[in-house]
Amino acid sequence: MTPAIIASVETMLEKWKGLEVKEIEVYNEFRFLTSEVISRIAFGSNYLEGEKIFAMLNKLKILVSQNIHKTAIPFINKLWKPADMLESEKLEKGIQDCVMEMIKKREDKVVSGEADSFGTDFLGLLVNAYHDLDDKNRVLLEDLVGECKTIYYAGRENVNSLLAWIVLHLAIHGDWQEKARREVIDIFGNQNPHLEGIAKLKIMTMIINETLRLYGPSHGLPRTVAREGQLGKFILPADIDILSLNIGPHRDPHLWGDDVHLFKPERFAEGIAKATNYTAAAFFPFGLGPRSCVGMTLATIETKIALSMILQRYTITISPTYVHSPIAIITIQPQHGIQIILEPLHSC
């Protein structure tokens, strides 16, 4: 997947050449980047082809965040549906139709002999599983569509937010920006990143982990209680939903010290286990246990490639127009965007 990620970042950086020494809002810039990446590596397409799905997912995200804490009265929704529910059902149907169209294109190519398989990307693997002759391995159509929605959304939003918050911190903390740049230049020079070198980016890993601690894209870990159990002093009955907010342990001074709210990547100099004093639940930006995020490695590699290529070319400073206002709309995002100024390292 690395070549596709690099190609997407190069497209973004080419556009940035016309924005040098000008204010640039990076949250939206990274949204286009991560949309392009997930479209290429998972669906064999590009942002323009997936634009309709992204737009509907964005509207659905806002509706979900507006209603996530509202309590529904049993049976009432069968008699009367509020406007938001009707709109969300319409969006769900629209997304499903778009995904079905993508699946049909793959199937038609195989039937016509234009292709000898459904493909080896994420969508291709799912379509293969949908047509599997073994009932035990077959994926239901509902699950196939659900998986596509998840990867479209999570593959874009999480890396989008993470990249934006990292760039903000590097713009504010010039010392860490310079340390990260020196590491990138030492490992890659002026060449594009490669997997062998990505694994050696220790300082960048520290910066990523500290940003995930302070502004992790996911602010909570939703779980359904399978059977009655006890959580601290609370008795949790079966079949209820709980949301464990990771901002609690991530900003707990008892776990991290009195400087818990400060950006200090050196906390992670000796790894996550040492930073958390071997307390696993002190740091879980990608979840915990067997249901931790399957896309963690992809998100980390994509983030490291994008940051490396930016640091090879630019110094980043914060714009005086930036207003700090993080909000939770499923992910933690900047309400007013993140405005920075890019200064090229090398004049043409």
Q: Is residue 103 part of a domain?
A: yes
Report the number of distinct structural domains present in the chain.
Answer: 2
> Do 228 and 327 reside in the same domain of the chain?
no
> Do 86 and 117 reside in the same domain of the chain?
yes
> Do 231 and 212 reside in the same domain of the chain?
no
Q: Which residues pair with 242 in a beta bridge?
A: 223
> Do 51 and 172 reside in the same domain of the chain?
yes
> Do 223 and 334 reside in the same domain of the chain?
no
> Do 1 and 94 reside in the same domain of the chain?
yes
Place of tokens 């529904």: 72
Q: Is residue 277 part of a domain?
A: no
- Under a CB-based contact definition with an 8 Å cutoff, are residues 332 and 191 in contact? no
Residues 6+ apart with CB under 8 A from 63: 84, 87, 88, 91
Q: What range defines the domain where residue 122 resides?
A: 1-218+285-344
Instruction: State both tokens at 5.
Output: 């990620």
> Do 67 and 105 reside in the same domain of the chain?
yes
Q: Is residue 274 part of a domain?
A: no
Q: Which residues of the chain have pLDDT under 70?
A: 68-80, 347-348
Q: Is residue 265 part of a domain?
A: no
Instruction: State yes or no: 148 annotated in a binding site.
Output: no
Q: Which residues pair with 328 in a beta bridge?
A: 332
Residues 6+ apart with CB under 8 A from 54: 35, 47, 152, 156
Smallest Cα–Cα separation from 33: which of 136, 163, 191? Answer: 163
Q: Is residue 151 part of a domain?
A: yes
> Do 32 and 10 reside in the same domain of the chain?
yes
- Under a CB-based contact definition with an 8 Å cutoff, are residues 121 and 43 in contact? yes
> Do 87 and 226 reside in the same domain of the chain?
no
Place of tokens 């464990």: 244
Q: Is residue 279 part of a domain?
A: no
**In the listed set 232, 248, 264, which residue is the last one of a domain according to the structure?**
248
DSSP SS3 for 310: helix
Q: Is residue 278 part of a domain?
A: no
Smallest Cα–Cα separation from 299: which of 198, 203, 220? Answer: 198
CATH of the domain at 204: 1.10.630.10
- Global pTM reads 0.87
CB-side exposure of 89: number of CA atoms within 13 Å? 7
In tens, the pLDDT along 12-42 reads: 999 999 888 889 999 999 999 999 998 888 8
In tens, the pLDDT along 281-308 reads: 899 898 887 878 888 899 999 999 999 9
What is the structure's pLDDT at 102?
87
Smallest Cα–Cα separation from 218: which of 276, 291, 324, 136? Answer: 291
CA pair distance 30, 330, nearest whole angstrom: 17
> Do 126 and 239 reside in the same domain of the chain?
no
What is the structure's pLDDT at 237?
94
What is the structure's pLDDT at 348?
47
Q: Is residue 259 part of a domain?
A: no
Which DSSP string corresponds to 311-336?
A: HTTEEEEE-TT----EEEESEEEETT
> Do 119 and 223 reside in the same domain of the chain?
no
Residue 36 has what DSSP assignment? H
> Do 178 and 227 reside in the same domain of the chain?
no
> Is residue 213 classed exposed, middle or buried when 0-12, 13-18 and 19+ CB atoms within 10 A define those classes?
buried
